[in-house]
Amino acid sequence: MSAEIKKTNVIAVLLTLDLGRLRAGDAEESQKLLFNCINYGFMHLDLRSDPEFEAEWEKLLAVMTLPSRWMSRCGMTRAP
């Protein structure tokens, strides 16, 4: 398995995996996952290609902003 790496200011190799391809059962992406786990123990997981995750993320963001939206409706501000 080879990965193209640009040689400008390389500090560490951080390979990227595609969540959409993993969830679809893509054999090549699954092999990359296994390779990364065995050899590095970490990787960058690209979440942008998975519409289901994106929908869940939007719901999570809405929940996370509830306190500030509630406070602004009540005329409250955050404590310094």
Q: Which pLDDT tens digit goes with each residue over 50-80? A: 888 888 888 888 888 877 776 677 766 665 5
Angle between helices 51-64 and 66-73 (to 10 degrees): 40
Which pTM value belongs to this model? Answer: 0.54
CB count in 10 Å sphere of residue 44: 10
- As to burial, measured by CB atoms within 10 angstroms (0-12 exposed, 13-18 middle, 19+ buried), residue 36 is buried
pLDDT tens digits, 22-58? 989 999 999 999 998 898 888 888 888 888 888 888 8
Q: What residue spans define the domains of the chain?
A: 1-49, 50-80
